[in-house]
Amino acid sequence: MTNQTRPASAEELESIFQRELATDRWAAVETSYALAVRHRDLGDWPASREWVEQCLRLLKGFPSETEEQVAATRTSVGGVPLPTYLHSGVVKGRFGDLT
């Protein structure tokens, strides 16, 4: 588990993502979004783009007709704030040219 007083590193988030991918795909969506943000903030545009694409691929497996279906289950992941609602429109809006 990461120390709650500091943001998780990209490497820590990637490890969390791999565990979640096997156990909780919605959590993996949230973590892939956090990874896209973390890499963007670090100026690593290619890695950010890869995580945006991963997030969008995972989101395709979930329904998105209601707010309840797209509501984030956490407020942040590894120190990265999550949007209240997480769906492809939000991801594309937040990452613009990276999508």
Angle 65-35-94 (CA atoms, 0-180°, nearest 5)? 50
Q: Mean pLDDT across the stretch 9-13?
A: 95
Q: With H, G, I as helix, E, B as strand and everything else as coil, classify residue 77.
A: strand
Predicted confidence band at 3 (pLDDT cuts at 50, 70, 90)? very low
Confidence (pTM) = 0.92
- Residues 54 and 13: their CA atoms lie apart, in Å, by 14
- Residue for token pair 């989101």: 59
Q: With H, G, I as helix, E, B as strand and everything else as coil, classify residue 81.
A: strand
pLDDT in tens, 44-98: 999 999 999 999 999 999 999 999 999 999 999 999 999 999 999 999 999 987 6
pLDDT in tens, 19-42: 999 999 999 999 999 999 999 999
Instruction: Of 45, 64, 41, give the one whose Cα is nearest residue 53.
Output: 45
pLDDT at 4 > cutoff 70: no
